[in-house]
Structure 1
Amino acid sequence: MKKSLLLFILSAGIVFSSCQNEKVSNNDYKDASLTIEERVEALLPKLSLEEKVAQMRIFHANIGVEADANGSLKLSEKVIEKLKLGIAGIKNPGEHMDPVSAAKFNNGLQKHIIENNRWGIPALFVTESYNGVDAAGSTRFGRPLTSAASFNPELVNRIWDVVGNEARLRGMHMCHSPEADLVRDPRFGRMSEAFGEDTYLTTQMVVNAIKGVQGNYEGLGKGTHIGAVAKHFAGYGQVLGGSNFAAIEISPRTLIDEIYPPFEAAVKEAKTLGIMASHGDINGIASHGNPELLTGVLRDQWGFEGYVVSDSNDIARLFYFMNVAESPEDAAQMGLEAGIDIDLYAEDSYAYLPEMVKKNPEVEKLIDRSVRRVLRTKFILGLFDNPYINIEDVKKGVRANSSLELAKESDLESIILLKNDNKTLPIDKNKTIKIALLGPLVTENTQTMFESVAGEQVKFVAEKGFHLTDEKGGAPKLLERDENAISKMVNMAKKSDVSILFLGGDEFTSKEAFFTSALGDRATIEPVGAQDELIEKIKALGKPVIVVLKHRRTLAINTISDKADAILDTWDLSEFGDESTAKIIFGEVSPSGKLPVTVPRSIGQMPFHYSMKEINYKKGYLFLEDGPLYPFGYGLSYSNFEYSDIKISNSEMTSGSEIEVSVTIKNTGKVKAKEVVQMYIKDVKGSVTRPDKELKGFEKIELNPGESKTVSFKITPDMLKFTGLKMEKVLEPGDYTVMIGTSSTDYKQTSFQLKK
């Protein structure tokens, strides 16, 4: 027995030694002439079980990936031990470094990873993008909801092309963005991460964002762009009460017809490399343990071939938070069977997989399925053949002048003119005038940026006055009313000809509510603090009051809307936001943004989006004016646009035909301006209750004074399909109304009939 045992140990040692040398002798997976599938299948069998599981885990760089005083790589013992087996990826390495330093650092980190796992498997370095690359020294663009206000998908594509390129240049490979979910509840602190309330608008923006960040897919293998991870699948923005981590109740019909399409387009049209699952549940089924969602819909129906990553620690939370798993191991099994390929951050879920395989060898088949998807992604990105960044490229490519100009262009197309009584705007900068820049959203650069635009005739004074909160990161608290600050601003307004008030909210009044004690959602949506009081007192002076509204969630701005002479809704612009706002105020450019969300009068109206069912509009509320404060798609201009001659190519349509509808738009004003022409369709009678109207097309055009243009839209059968009585997509014969206009409530209309 002892001799046999010794022989076994010796033979095992020989096998282990042989495995160590396979890195040198069996490099067929490194043959770039093979297909990606062939390379994956050549590499996968070589991996030990522990090495496979390592390819299913991502950890955050904050556990011990840092630079020493000289900028060189410094790893904790914990990280060194992890990397011996390889790793799927690391989140945010070098995020606080300038781009060149980050590229050097990430080259060093990747080199360590490749040289210290048996098969030289590179890691994915992962970032996010809300205002451009979420890392120091990158071009700072407006947030997604801001750019959605541009109604310009091509512009969004160019923005995300820069994001993808700047991220790759600092050594990143994947991006946990964009947000493909709809946001319809302004209580939700993460509202500005998405593209708005509408399915069609969100779909167009998401497709263009993904194509941009991935370099139209071609940029992945060339090493110029990164892969997208569309999130959060699905319905994450529909949490009850707008409260992060709350339950999600969506009717199956709404899920299919309204929530799914942006994700489906992300997969089929944009070829997103990744999908992130939602924190929440869908009608009681936790998304991270939902095989019907993550495999049945995503893969079997839509043909998704990329990887699915968990949201932070969410597989383990199936056990200790969602309470749908009996144990941590059960949670890991549920996530694996559902189709989660990568476990983000956790040490208490997929870390258990090697032990689970010992008890149930069949589990390894599911592990192999996931590892194939991860390895495939790394081959698509070209990391086995070209894992490092050329530092000279970084110096030329990050924050290029063209990127900075693009940030300004995006601002100018995204700013929305909500109100302009008595043509308060634009202000003539050739007249001698004194302007007070006042309010809690004034920044240290606001006056300088306004001065750079206005020139010498216009004089400015600026005063922030007060902060909205104590600006504590976790759970900020509102500050007490500051009488001295208010009085100081009122006195400055008295001595000025015009006051521009910077009001709304900031990154502390609307943010992600993390799992711990951090808060970011709100129960009310009025502007916080003494902002309403401030505008009332300054308006009482009898001088023009302009409001620049900065915010990351929709606000019920009833007082502001009533008192202000003009309102510019800027959401959250780029690093040049105040400069761009000044250009609009002084008339260098006419505003052309449109609301990507409905602005309610009160939180009590929620849910409240333009495409609700027609029956939702039957009754209003006691003591509240009916309708929204501002409707979806709304936005004024310094010019005027006349819509006329709406025409339809045929009053009848069949399931095998298309029709065309057109309208003529004329610029009847005195300045060159852009207009967003919007097409909505209403199904007059349906077998199930139908939306009041749905956006089905839009086009942004530019017209000189007196110029006219005819804009045409195709209406296809696919536009008219919906989920019918039997929960199957149907195309129902009947009457349809077509509306083309400047917003969801201001349009010309015609009709057609769909025949059998």
Structure 2
Amino acid sequence: MPYQNTSLSIEERVEDLLPRMSLEEKVAQMRIFHANIGVKSDEKGKLVLSEKVTEKLKLGIAGIKNPGEHISPLAAAKLNNDLQKYIIKSNRWGIPALFITESYNGVDAEGCTKFGRPITSAASFNPELVNRIWDVVGKEARLRGMHMCHSPEADIVRDPRFGRMSEAFGEDTYLTTQMVVNAIKGVQGNYEGLGNGTHIGAVAKHFAGYGQVLGGSNFAAVEISPRTLIDEIYPPFEAAVKEARTLGIMASHGDLNGVASHGNPELLTGVLRDQWGFDGYVVSDSNDIARLYYFMKVAESPEAAALMGLVAGIDIDLYAEDSYAYLPEMVKKDPSIEKMIDRSVKRVLRTKMILGLFDNPYVDIKKVEKEVRSEASLALAQEADLESIILLKNEGDILPLKKEKQKIALLGPLLDKGTKTAFEEVAGNTITFTAEQGFELTDGNTSVPKMRSTTPDELDKLLDIAKQSDVVILFLGGDEFTSKEAYFNIALGDRATIDPVGAQDELVKRVKAIGKPVIVVLKHRRTLSVNTISEKADAILDGWDLSEFGDSSMAKIIFGEVSPSGKSPVTVPRSIGQLPFHYSMKEINNKKGYLFLEDGPLYPFGFGLSYGKFAYSNLSLSSETMTSTSEITVNVQVTNIGKMKAKEVVQLYLKDEIGSVTRPDKELNGFEKIELNPDESKTVTFTIVPKMLEFTGLKMEKILEPGDYSVMVGTSSKENLTAKFRLEK
């Protein structure tokens, strides 16, 4: 049939297939179910499907989430080949299904390379590195039979109360945009990897504003000014569409200034398609079309919710049995609805053809074991760690530690079972390590964890070990229980405070009182107000949530095999009372502080120390004036005046001195990571183009406004050299 003819264009093939399909078959291509309702393999590896699943697959299906996620890559590849074969044979037109995963630490499935979380890799300030990470994600996912990924997150995250903070790339629009574009290009194999079967499609999420939930509470309302929405929240999504060519977009759980995102045609059609030209598919978040009725309460009935989602532009319903399942009956009452169904089904079929699934739907089993978790992929995971670890404090240059005879205590609630072994492998036989976790932060309940009370005996045991050691390394912060996705009251993950959980501050104070050098290793998935740690520790290394080699990577940094080069992708506040608190807030936010609290952040955005020492000099602009058609070249000389080879992230910020609307205090508009030997210098060059100066003006249109601008180039958002230029008409 023509739709099976590879010599025809994808559009021609889709146009041939669609009219052959019944209404019920079309609607089946608009639904995704989770494999946990009955897709598995038995002890012999044979495909086993529940009656519920076989019934669903009679008409075909848009996709299945996470088939084979809990088995090895090879077993998953075999399972998914058998599953795809069954699906193709079970529907009249042999339409294959999309198998879908997610990626928060690499492919979220058994046996794949475990990378650090997105916010961890954002700390590397290295987009090329992120591209390589997600290239591995795309390859490993495709090898196990997956086709789409409900990742990456293009959300801006600025509230550390929010349990999902670590799933995104931080607080800054420009940094997030660079990371999202490179993640999507990587996972999609620069788009070319889709059709040739080497990579998977990305679904950028959550469109739009999801990370801005009020109170940092998942599912809460989202209130964003239209100007902030356009200038700060939209850009990563727009770049995902225009630059990275993402195959999919996921709508946001929440509302946006009172309009439920899953029922927002201005957002999902007007902005996404009409303005940006997006031609992929839009998928709902979990059950969220149905929730327009029973949770958001903006639809009068389940059927009205389904119609609202369809009109808004959502093509695929994720999981729900009480939403798009009603569409066939709804068409009988209103035949005009079928035109919108056809529109969505075309997008789904088109995606499957872009991925080559009609022509080559199966996995090459022979490649799986050889290419998943390859030596190169594992090495990349540690490389990413080493570029992402942030040195927040290094009093008296206590770090790096020497690999000489001494006793080192590894203590604290974030100590893992393999930490001691990892440190021994890096440090060698001259150092004696003692390891003791001491206490846990919570009871480990995956739904609603409870904070544990630390006993005096638990603390005393750690103190006794510390007294017998020359150096104490404390592993502190938070874990997967203290920061996670919240599902209503049945599974909490957001927090009302951002202080370290439990007795961690008390532990730091008591260990410091012993008089031994104290190094703190932070592991966490949300920003924490680490005031006591910052005051008492001699050195602090911030790792966020590292890869499976995180302890080894941290040891290599501590013992000076590599200089730390990560920079903070967020502003670290002193108190939750400072929220909202990000470096690019409007200048008027910085005119005064709070009673009884030191001004400013504990650590600013872009901050990170090094074992090298970098001097900035000779900042120069190619011109002191600029027009709407010209550019300015910025040069700065950076010299490593330290004693160790090291990497530095040179950061460019711009500030509009006077605007017709209140403007951000400064905005990141460029960065470059360089490596310098001791006494080596390099001239780093940035180009300021007119688009960097655009903002949404009084009439809610993008404008270039003549006036004075400051250029700031330096090592963080707080420490930099400054020059000025004027934008003329």
TM bin, normalised by shorter chain, reads over 0.9
Q: Who is 1:453 aligned against?
A: 426
CA distance in 1, matches of 2:518, 2:394: 11
Map of 1:10 onto structure 2: none
Following the alignment from structure 1 to structure 2, what is the Cα–Cα distance between the partners of residues 113 and 482?
A: 56
Quote the Cα distance in structure 2 between the aligned partners of 1:364 and 1:393.
Answer: 42
1:366 matches 2:340:
yes
**Paired letter, 2:129:** L
Partner Cα distance (1:44, 1:550) in 2: 51
Gaps of 5+ in 1: 1-26
Q: Secondary structure at the match of 2:490?
A: coil
| Alignment pair present for 1:417 and 2:396 | no
- Partners of 1:169 and 1:318 in 2: how far apart? 37
Please name the residue that 2:627 is paired with: 654
Matched residue, 2:616: 643
Matched, 1:320 2:294: yes
Identity among equivalent positions (%) equals: 77
Q: Secondary structure at the match of 2:602?
A: coil
Pairwise CA distance, 1:515: 3.7
Q: Which of 398, 413, 438 in structure 2 is aligned with 1:440? A: 413
Matches of 2:2 and 2:698 in 1, distance apart? 54
1:492 aligns with 2:492: no
Aligned-residue offset at 1:396: 1.2
Q: Distance in 2 between matches of 1:187 and 1:584?
A: 29
Aligned AA for 1:107? N
| 1:390 counterpart residue number | 364
Provide the residue aligned with 2:598 in structure 1.
625
Mapping of 1:283-298 within 5 angstroms? 283-298=257-272
Q: Does 1:200 align with 2:174?
A: yes
The 3-state SS of whatever aligns with 1:59 is strand
Separation in structure 1 between the aligned mates of residue 246 and residue 46 of structure 2, nearest angstrom? 34
Question: 1:516 deviation in Å?
Answer: 5.3
Distance 2:98 2:309 in 1: 21
The CA distance in 2 between the partners of 1:209 and 1:597, in whole Å, is 19
Instruction: Tell me which of 315, 318, 327 is aligned to 1:341.
Output: 315
SS of 2:435 mapped into structure 1: strand
| Alpha-carbon distance between aligned partners in 1 of 2:293 and 2:41, rounded to the nearest angstrom | 36
Q: In structure 1, how many angstroms separate the alpha carbons of the residues matched to 2:104 and 2:65?
A: 15
Secondary structure (helix, strand or coil) at the match of 1:540 reads helix
Counterpart of 1:752?
A: 725
SS in 2 for 1:84: helix
CA shift, 1:66, in A, is: 1.2
Q: Secondary structure at the match of 2:700?
A: coil
One-letter amino acid of the counterpart of residue 6, structure 2: A
**Aligned mate of 1:67, from 41, 51, 67:** 41
Answering whether residue 585 of structure 2 is matched by residue 612 of structure 1, we say yes
Match of 1:740 among 708, 713, 725: 713
- Indicate whether 1:678 and 2:655 are aligned: no
Q: Which residue of 2 aligns with 1:400?
A: 374
User: What's the counterpart of residue 214 of structure 1?
Assistant: 188
Supply the AA of the counterpart residue of 1:393. K
Match of 1:311 in 2: 285
Q: Take 2:489 and 2:720, find their aligned partners in 1: how far apart are those partners? A: 47
Aligned to 2:513: 540
Give how far 1:483 is off: 1.5
1:466 equivalent to 2:442? Answer no
C-alpha separation between the residues in 2 aligned to 1:742 and 1:445?
Answer: 34
State how far apart, in whole Å, the 1-side matches of 2:405 and 2:148 are: 52
Matches of 2:720 and 2:317 in 1, distance apart?
A: 49
Instruction: Return the alpha-carbon distance in structure 2 between the equivalents of residues 59 and 639 of structure 1.
Output: 52
Q: Following the alignment from structure 2 to structure 1, what is the Cα–Cα distance between the partners of residues 724 and 591?
A: 23
SS of residue matched to 2:661: coil
The residue identity in structure 1 corresponding to 2:626 is M
Matching residue within 4, 8, 11 for 1:37: 11
- Aligned to 1:427, the other structure's residue is in SS state coil
Q: How does 1:234-273 map to 2 (within 5 A)?
A: 234-273=208-247
Secondary structure of the 2:392 match is strand
Give CA deviations for 1:39-79 in whole Å, capped at 9, x if unaligned: 10010001000000000000000111111221211111111
Which amino acid is 1:301 matched to? Q
Q: Letter of the 1:584 partner, please give it.
A: I
In structure 1, which of residues 540, 551, 556 is the aligned counterpart of residue 529 of structure 2? 556
| Residue of structure 2 aligned with 1:94, choices 52, 68, 72 | 68
Distance 1:602 1:421 in 2: 23
Report how far residue 469 of structure 1 moved: 0.2
1:599 Cα deviation from its structure 2 partner = 0.1
SS in structure 1 at match of 2:577: helix
- Give me the TM-score of the superposition, normalised by structure 1: 0.96
The equivalent of 1:302 in structure 2 is 276
Aligned equivalents of 1:88, 1:506: Cα separation in 2: 35
Structure 1 position 579 matched with structure 2 position 568 = no
- 2:497 maps to which residue? 524
Amino acid at match of 1:505: G
Q: Residue 112 of structure 1 aligns with which residue?
A: 86
Match status 1:355 vs 2:329: yes
Amino acid at match of 1:142: G
Partner residue, 1:24: none
Following superposition, the deviation at residue 276 of structure 1 comes to 0.1
Task: Describe the SS at the equivalent of 2:514.
Answer: coil
Q: Shift in Å at residue 514 of structure 1? A: 1.5
Output the amino acid matched with 1:241.
Answer: G
Which residue type is aligned with residue 732 of structure 1? E
In the alignment, the residues of structure 1 paired with residue 455 and residue 36 of structure 2 have an alpha-carbon distance, to the nearest angstrom, of 39
Bigger Cα Rg = 1
1:274 paired residue among 228, 248, 256? 248
Q: CA RMSD, aligned part only?
A: 0.5
Q: Please list the CA deviations of residues 592-640 of structure 1 after superposition, one character each: whole Å capped at 9, or x if unmatched.
A: 0000000000000000000000000011000100000000000000010
Q: For 1:69 and 1:204, how far apart are their aligned partners in 2?
A: 45
- What CA distance in whole angstroms lies between the structure 1 residues aligned with 2:455 and 2:269? 55
What residue in structure 2 maps to residue 172 of structure 1? 146
- For residues 592 and 716 of structure 2, the distance between their equivalents in structure 1, rounded to whole angstroms, comes to 22
| Counterpart code for 1:460 | F
Task: Describe the SS at the equivalent of 2:684.
Answer: strand
Structure 2 counterpart of 1:484, one-letter code? D
- In structure 1, the residue matched to 2:542 is 569
Counterpart for residue 130 of structure 2? 156
Q: Distance in 2 between matches of 1:191 and 1:732?
A: 34
Residue 28 of structure 1, CA deviation: 1.5
Taking the aligned partners of 1:531 and 1:299, their CA distance within structure 2 comes to 49
- Which of 560, 563, 566 in structure 2 is aligned with 1:590? 563
Q: 1-side partners of 2:552 and 2:298: how far apart?
A: 51
- Residue type at the aligned position of 1:669: G
Q: Secondary structure at the match of 1:519?
A: coil
Query: Are 2:306 and 1:329 aligned?
Result: no
1:81 aligns with 2:55: yes
Once the two structures are superposed, residues 212-232 of structure 1 have per-residue CA deviations (whole angstroms, 9 ceiling, x without a partner) of 000000000000000000000
Runs of 4+ in 1 over 3 A off after TM superposition: none
Which sections of structure 2, spanning at least 5 residues, go unmatched? Answer: none
- Report the TM-score when normalising by structure 2: 1.00
Letter in 1 for 2:50: S
Q: Map Cα deviations across residues 481-518 of structure 1 (whole Å, 9 max, x no partner).
A: 22211111100000000000000000000000014511
Distance 2:133 2:339 in 1: 41
Instruction: For 2:453 and 2:385, locate their aligned partners in 1 and report how far apart those are by CA, in whole Å.
Output: 33
| One-letter amino acid of the structure 2 residue matched with residue 36 of structure 1 | I
Rounded to whole Å, the distance in 2 between the matches of 1:64 and 1:468 is 35
1:8 aligns with none
Aligned length: 729
Q: Hey, what's the Cα distance between the residues in 1 that align with 2:300 and 2:686?
A: 54
1:131 to 78, 101, 105: 105
